[in-house]
């Protein structure tokens, strides 16, 4: 027997009605709903893992690659971490109703700028089933209804997780339609969701450039792009080289298939002869392939005692590539200014790092690099809502308007002015 799939427009209209109620829902009710979701994830873990196993098998058969399989994979530890993140979000302060600013005008009017929910948020994402729960929890806590649209590669996982989230939230007192999953369609369905201007207030796509381009071509709903991460680590002339090696290895290898992993290493020419043999040997031991410029090859050629590292020549394309794999491009630069120029030319505005003991160089890097997150003596892998104390994130925005960096509770809110008078009229 065929099961009727709700139309996108009907799902969006229902979410709009739910959003009106959610905007006025007490914090205690929202927190109880999140606790119910976390408990259900733990109680129904075998159901979730069974659904994920089906997706993993289909992914293997389709040869989607190790990076996507890693994003797709769930196990007991990962599901427990998802449930833990839900509880962390519940424990955070409710942003709704927060007074951003307030003052009394000379005419006696009281003006308050107050944080309020956006309304209906649609999240479009690829492969990562944890986003289903992270996004739902953040939206519900911030008083927003959510429409989820995952990729076909995680269809079974997303369906199980979305059903658990919606059922638990409604049972705990949130309105029907507060969390919905759009499933069963292709690009046409995405285009329909992206044009629901009467019902959907914001779309957040979390995926690659093809998803971004598909939305840019059709969207009439406002979009915040949680876009790709072509991230760099620059090792300055004054760097602590042991610290630099630890940071580079972590930024590249801790989880290569994610947007905050480093894709390019820039090394100051004054330390190239000393540092490059060390770091490239360490990268080789970690099974990271290297695409190197001519100056890197020259530095290695002066060290006949190191083994053949099988390093390939870097091309122009390598500097602009988000590998999402154990591959890194390496370039020698003459100065901090040249490193900043390189990042300005090829970076995606996500996360950039400098390793240095020179305060002036660190300050120049912080001021000169245009990115959502700029690090001094720390790995780019920290760009994450959970690591930033937000509980979780929907994605990392590389845009400059409204939200930049990890998208958490406050980034899912707008504001309105509440103005109170006593019979005031304008002269």
- pLDDT of 304: 66
Q: Is 408 helix (H, G, I), strand (E, B) or coil?
A: coil
- pLDDT of 184: 60
Average pLDDT over residues 57-76: 91
Is it the case that residue 4 has pLDDT exceeding 80?
Answer: no
- pLDDT of 103: 97
Q: Six-digit token pair at 397? A: 């925005």
Residue ranges per structural domain of the chain? 8-226+405-420, 231-382
Is it the case that residue 218 has pLDDT exceeding 50?
Answer: yes
Residue % of the chain over a pLDDT of 70: 97
Q: Six-digit token pair at 62? A: 């389709």
pTM: 0.88
Rounded-to-integer distance, Cα 378 and Cα 355, Å: 7
- pLDDT of 320: 96
Average pLDDT over residues 130-159: 95
* Class in CATH terms, 231-382: alpha beta
Per-residue pLDDT of 104-143, as tens digits, reads: 999 999 999 999 999 999 999 887 899 999 999 999 999 9
- Spatial neighbors of 51 by CB under 8 A, at least 6 apart, are 156, 157, 159, 160
Is it the case that residue 208 has pLDDT exceeding 90?
Answer: no
Reference 237, options 360, 97, 96; nearest CA is 360
- How would you label 144-154 residue by residue, b for 16+ Cβ within 10 Å and e otherwise? bbbbbbbbbbb
- Of the ranges 192-201, 206-215, 387-396, the best mean pLDDT one: 192-201
**pLDDT top residue among 300 and 32:** 32
| Residue ranges of E strands in 88-135 | 99-104, 110-117, 120-125
Is it the case that residue 178 has pLDDT exceeding 50?
Answer: yes
Average pLDDT over residues 192-206: 94
The CATH homologous superfamily for domain 8-226+405-420 is Aldehyde Dehydrogenase; Chain A, domain 1 (3.40.605.10)
> Which of 24-38, 185-199, 302-316 is the least confident region?
302-316
Encode 359-386 in three state secondary structure: HHHHHHHHHHCCCCEEEECCCHHHCCCC
Is it the case that residue 2 has pLDDT exceeding 50?
Answer: no
Is it the case that residue 185 has pLDDT exceeding 80?
Answer: no
One fold for both 8-226+405-420 and 231-382? Answer: no
Reference 70, options 202, 253, 196; nearest CA is 253
Average pLDDT over residues 309-324: 92
Average pLDDT over residues 222-245: 94
The dihedral built from the CA positions of residue 71, 59, 77 and 128, taken in this order, carries a sign that is positive
Residue % of the chain over a pLDDT of 90: 82
For the chain, the C-alpha Rg in angstroms (whole number) is: 24
Per-residue pLDDT of 355-387, as tens digits, reads: 999 999 999 999 999 999 999 999 999 999 989
Tell how strand 396-397 and strand 405-406 pair up. antiparallel
Average pLDDT over residues 174-189: 87
Average pLDDT over residues 242-255: 97
Rounded-to-integer distance, Cα 82 and Cα 37, Å: 10
> Which of 167-176, 222-231, 251-260, 310-319 is the least confident region?
222-231
Our CA angle for 89, 93, 97, nearest 5°, is 125
Is it the case that residue 10 has pLDDT exceeding 70?
Answer: yes
Looking at every residue in the chain, the average pLDDT score rounds to 94
Is it the case that residue 3 has pLDDT exceeding 80?
Answer: no
- pLDDT of 344: 98
- pLDDT of 1: 37
Average pLDDT over residues 252-272: 95
Is it the case that residue 51 has pLDDT exceeding 60?
Answer: yes
């Amino acid at each position: 027997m065929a099961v009727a799939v709700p139309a996108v427009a009907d799902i969006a209209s229902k979410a709009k009605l739910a959003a009106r109620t959610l905007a006025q829902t007490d914090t205690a009710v929202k927190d109880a709903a999140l606790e119910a979701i976390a408990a259900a994830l733990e109680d129904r873990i075998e159901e979730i893992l069974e659904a994920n196993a089906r997706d993993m098998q289909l992914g293997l058969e389709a040869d989607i690659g190790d990076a996507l399989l890693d994003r797709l994979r769930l196990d007991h530890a990962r599901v427990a971490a998802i449930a833990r993140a839900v509880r962390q979000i519940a424990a955070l302060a409710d942003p709704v109703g927060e007074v951003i600013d307030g003052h009394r005008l000379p005419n006696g009017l009281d003006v308050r700028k107050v944080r309020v929910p956006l309304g209906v948020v649609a999240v479009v994402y690829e492969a990562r089933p944890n986003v289903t729960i992270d996004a739902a929890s953040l939206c519900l806590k911030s008083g927003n209804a959510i429409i989820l649209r995952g990729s076909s590669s995680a269809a079974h996982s997303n369906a199980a997780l979305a059903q658990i989230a919606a059922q638990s939230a409604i049972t705990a007192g949130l309105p029907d339609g507060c969390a919905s999953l759009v499933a069963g369609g292709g690009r046409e369905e995405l285009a329909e969701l992206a044009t629901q201007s009467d019902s959907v207030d914001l779309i957040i796509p979390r995926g690659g450039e093809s998803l971004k381009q598909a939305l840019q071509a059709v969207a009439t709903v406002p979009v915040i792009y949680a876009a790709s991460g072509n991230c760099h680590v620059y090792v300055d002339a004054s760097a602590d080289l042991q610290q630099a090696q630890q940071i580079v290895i972590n930024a590249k290898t801790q989880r290569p298939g994610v947007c905050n992993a480093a894709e390019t290493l820039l090394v100051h020419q004054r330390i190239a002869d000393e540092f490059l043999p060390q770091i490239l040997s360490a990268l080789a031991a970690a099974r990271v392939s290297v695409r190197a410029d001519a100056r890197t090859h020259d530095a290695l050629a002066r060290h006949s005692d190191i083994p053949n590292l099988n390093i390939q020549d870097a091309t122009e394309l390598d500097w602009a590539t988000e590998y999402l794999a154990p591959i890194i491009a390496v370039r020698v630069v003459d100065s901090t200014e040249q490193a900043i120029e390189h990042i300005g030319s090829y970076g995606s505005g996500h996360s950039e790092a400098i390793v240095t003991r020179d305060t002036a160089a660190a300050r120049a890097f912080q001021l000169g690099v245009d990115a959502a997150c700029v690090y001094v003596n720390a790995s780019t892998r920290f760009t994450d809502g959970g690591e930033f104390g937000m509980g979780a994130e929907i994605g990392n925005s590389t845009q400059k308007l409204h939200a930049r960096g990890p998208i958490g509770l406050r980034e899912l809110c707008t504001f309105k002015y509440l103005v109170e008078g006593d019979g005031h009229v304008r002269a």
